[in-house]
Structure 1
Amino acid sequence: MPKKYLHQSISRLSKSVNLGVLLLGAGIVLLPLGVVFLTSFASPGATPGLLPRSSWSLVNYREAWQRGSFLVAFANSTLVALAVTAFQIICSALAGYALARLKFRGRQTLLLIVLATLVIPFQLLVIPIFLVLKWGHLINTYGALILPTAVNGFGIFLLRQYFQTIPMELEEAAALDGANRWQILWRVMLPLSRPALVTLFLFTFIGEWNDLFKPLVFTTRPELRTVQLALAEFQEQFTNNWPLLMAAVAIATVPVLLLFLIGQRQLIQGIATTGIKN
């Protein structure tokens, strides 16, 4: 009996320690976000901090929304993010299924080439991409914001790995019922790959929403301004109105934060079940 109680005590202590470490980590991660939101409600001229404010006001949010023209910026960022995400999901599904299931010469070499693209920074390719866009008369258009990242090696590899976790017997049963490759992909594989698709959707959408580089390099028209470009305009050279800047940051952060909270369960499942499998 004493050994049993000792074991239970050690188990409870271990759980308490793990919980404490997780809470500490969560606090460290959420601390900057807390500073942003608390400062955004402060009076103009205040400095960032977690100390209680003597006055709370939404005036910073109203001014930031009007000054940043966030309605147009939100529309542009949403359009670009959804378009890029749709292209990446379609292309990644097709290429990932081919690399996972089809047998053809050079498949492993092609997979290595796809993986090699993950280590090439986008900034390294900006000059040839700019020249191609200029040749196609796409500079200062939505095409310049969508096409350069319409395909991504990460999405191809992610879906390829997830497709390999699905039993071959399901495809064989569908083939016996008369389904061809296209029908197997769209009616069997993709419905079973929902966690991986949601994971790819979240990664791609959030990445495009937070992207500043493409709009900064490929566009100059105010009507094509995205959320990150609008946010960059609040940073001044010598001084900063911190409450106004933090209100703008909060406005830009809330949509992707809500999107992540909605899809977090599928995201965790997609990452957890996508292993490295040859």
Structure 2
Amino acid sequence: MKQRSPIVKATSLTLFSSNFSVAQLLTLTVLILGAIVILFPLIVVLRSSFTSPDSSFTLANYQAAWHRGNFWIAFANSTLVALGVTGLQIITSALAGYALARFKFRGKQGILLLILATLVIPFQLLVIPTFIILKWAHLINSYWALILPTAANGFGIFLMRQYFASIPFELEEAATLDGANRWQVLTRIMLPLSRPALITLFLFTFIGEWNDLFKPLVFTTRPELRTVQLALSEFQEQFTNDWSLLMAAVVISTIPVLILFLIGQKQFIQGIGSTGIKN
């Protein structure tokens, strides 16, 4: 067998060491191990969802889970609520964020700190006064009870404020000299330039509302208002022993948000990376 010459071996080692340092190899190893740890539960869920009681491959679990969970209604309700909350949060966050980024008025920093303080208050602490207000307005057991309580969010306002602050003020001055008013500057210049932040806010809000169980559980009792998470919770109570059926239901409920995130992941990363440029 032909052996490589020492020169060839030395060249190979030199190329290897130049391309991969010890630190890079350790980083790559840690990342691979982290990916395995993260993906392992997903693999277990997928494997269980395709397994029949006799341990053979089957698609019957998905068909049974779809019909028994009545996911058509749950998907429609979750989509309506998530889009409603997302649309309102984008509007409120854009308006408030623009005011905090561009307007000068007394108490602006105090308002910003107050908005940031709301991020540490869990919604569960506000559920009683929120429930009383919704009941007083006769909104319990309606879509509005699931949409209005989270129509504005401190995270969204702060996110948009940070992104607006990173946009050069000269662009706004040029538009003002051309005769644009504040509304036109916001809608025709600031918002188009803030597309990554808007997509980031959309993904955060939509996924959060899609996965929310607390509001539907507290503010609704009508079966026709059941969301995906309520369907999953009832599914688990009814079919606790059939793990394959439950795993199939979990996969079904996860597919829409997974597709949505994959579509917007590039803008999502850009939006997160650029919101802390300017204070």
TM-score by length of 1: 0.92
Paired with 1:99 and 1:254, the residues of 2 have a C-alpha distance of 37
Distance change in 2, residues 1:56/1:93 (3 Å): same
Deviation at 1:277, TM superposition (A): 3.1
Distance change in 2, residues 1:214/1:9 (3 Å): same
Q: Across the two proteins, how many residue pairs are aligned to each other?
A: 267
Describe how 1:8-19 pairs up with structure 2 within 5 A.
Answer: 9=17, 11-13=19-21, 14-19=23-28
Paired with 1:176 and 1:276, the residues of 2 have a C-alpha distance of 27
What is the aligned partner in structure 1 of residue 165 from structure 2? 164
Which amino acid is 2:83 matched to? L
2:39 to 22, 30, 39: 30
Deviation at 1:6, TM superposition (A): 6.3
Describe how 1:193-208 pairs up with structure 2 within 5 A.
Answer: 193-208=194-209
SS at match of 1:26: helix
Which amino acid is 1:71 matched to? W
Paired with 2:166 and 2:38, the residues of 1 have a C-alpha distance of 33
Which amino acid is 1:274 matched to? T
Distance change in 2, residues 1:266/1:211 (3 Å): same
C-alpha distance after superposition, 1:141-169 (max 9, x if no partner):
00000000010000000000011110011
SS at match of 1:234: helix
Paired with 1:130 and 1:8, the residues of 2 have a C-alpha distance of 64
Cα-Cα RMSD? 1.8
Paired with 2:262 and 2:39, the residues of 1 have a C-alpha distance of 14
What is the aligned partner in structure 2 of residue 266 from structure 1? 267
Describe how 1:57-206 pairs up with structure 2 within 5 A.
Answer: 57-206=58-207
Paired with 1:40 and 1:257, the residues of 2 have a C-alpha distance of 17
SS at match of 2:236: coil
What is the aligned partner in structure 2 of residue 218 from structure 1? 219
Deviation at 1:235, TM superposition (A): 1.5
Deviation at 1:234, TM superposition (A): 1.7
Query: Percent same amino acid among aligned pairs?
Result: 73
SS at match of 1:103: coil
Paired with 1:238 and 1:161, the residues of 2 have a C-alpha distance of 46
Deviation at 1:239, TM superposition (A): 4.3
Deviation at 1:24, TM superposition (A): 1.8
Paired with 2:229 and 2:238, the residues of 1 have a C-alpha distance of 17
**4+ runs deviating over 4 angstroms:** 5-8
What is the aligned partner in structure 2 of residue 50 from structure 1? none
Deviation at 1:102, TM superposition (A): 0.4
Deviation at 1:252, TM superposition (A): 0.3
Q: Any conservation in 1 of the 2:196–2:270 contact (CA below 8 Å)? A: yes
